[in-house]
Structure 1
Amino acid sequence: MPVPPRITVEVPVLRVGHGPADFEALGSLVQSLRRPQGLHLTLLHVGILADFARDIEDWTKGSTPAGNAVTGTARWLRSLPELAGFAGTSDRVIVLGGGSIAGLEVTVPQHVRDYQVSLVQGLHDLLDRLLVDNVDDFILSSPALGFRYPHWVPHVAVGRPPGHGRGPWSIPPMDVECGPSRIRNGRFLPAAD
């Protein structure tokens, strides 16, 4: 049985450095370098929608049924404004995901940080409408959301960390060009009513 897809708000990475050779050079630092196609920078991770909805139902002790949480969340995601493409920069590789992911730490323009903050504020508003109390506690404890840290670190996952050390590792500065925001796996959201 296939695993349901994770839902995120993200921007696709169109280019790292000056071209493929700059990206491939990262293979000397990280293990299992990912293909450049499909690289992305996550702005907000929602997780598997059904799991997120169950987290809400459990937290509200059934006051918000999972079905209502699914439709409300899908409606909110579809209403989000699009963030235009932008360019960031990276000069180091960091370890994320409890030590299992190597990522380019990306310095992004202020308007991108502001957009990400607006996503978190929107998530707060959504959860409030879905009758979640102690929203900050819910966000940090929801297994579906998977927030490990209270602050956002813009990054592009590129592979697994090298076998030595915990990083970070400095790299020659490179541009990271990103396209407009999108809902990853948005086609799996329930149909709009």
Structure 2
Amino acid sequence: MTLLHVGILDELAVDIAAWTNGRAEPGKVLPEISSWLTELPVLQGFLGKSDKLVPLGGGRLMGLEVDVPQEVHDYQALLVQGLHVLLDELGLDNIDDFILGSPALGYRSPRWLPHIAVGKAKSRHEPPTEIAPVALEFGDSRIRHRESLPAADS
């Protein structure tokens, strides 16, 4: 389950540079983003459940909508607040507009829907579907592809 999607970092740095009219250069932004990501607190593992298959990504994908404990929602909100602080420190204005408009971030909605992507939809207009309840166990949070993060400045 993705708690905060930041996309491909090189593309995010280009989006930031464009938003700031070049004031935030990609070469200087990347280590700061990398440092911020590696300093994020870890969310301990948790249990969830799903009983619904929902369309994602404008209907191109399907996913399990997951009911998660409140502390997961609180952690995700903390991540978004931290992203706001990071973007502010990088010199961005209208941060909510940037987050919703950045192709690298890829957000279509300001509302986070806990989900697990499970594959392509049969058709573009696949409706939500009730399924037999599924219990889900999640491990501690981690950064996907952590080994590919650029080195932070010392």
Alignment TM-score, normalising by the size of structure 1: 0.77
Report the secondary structure of 2:100's partner residue. helix
* 2:104 equivalent among 128, 131, 144: 144
Instruction: Pick from 84, 98, 103 the counterpart of residue 44 of structure 2.
Output: 84
Is residue 141 of structure 2 the alignment partner of residue 181 of structure 1?
yes
The match for 1:58 is: 18
Deviations, residues 61-111 of structure 1 (Å, cap 9, x unaligned)? 111111121011000000000000000010010000111111000000000
Task: Tell me, in whole angstroms, the C-alpha distance in 2 between the residues paired with 1:126 and 1:165.
Answer: 37
1:128 aligns with 2:93: no
Q: In 2, Cα distance between the equivalents of 1:164 and 1:127? A: 34
Match of 1:158 in 2: 118
1:75 — aligned with what? 35
1: CA distance, partners of 2:124 / 2:26: 44
Q: Which runs of 5+ in 1 are unaligned?
A: 1-40
Task: Give ranges in structure 2 of 5+ residues lacking alignment.
Answer: none
Relative to the length of structure 2, the TM-score reads 0.96
Code of the residue aligned with 1:54 in structure 2: it is V
Q: CA RMSD in A?
A: 1.2
The number of equivalent residue pairs is 153
Q: CA deviation at 1:166?
A: 2.0
SS at match of 2:6: strand
2:69 alignment partner in structure 1: 109
* 2:18 partner amino acid: D
Distance in 2 separating the partners of 1:157 and 1:126: 28
Give, in angstroms, the shift of residue 164 of structure 1: 8.6
Q: Percent identity?
A: 54
1:172 maps to 132
Contact 2:59 2:125 in 1 (8 A): no
C-alpha deviation, 1:162, in angstroms: 2.9
Contact 2:63–2:116 under 8 Å retained in 1: yes
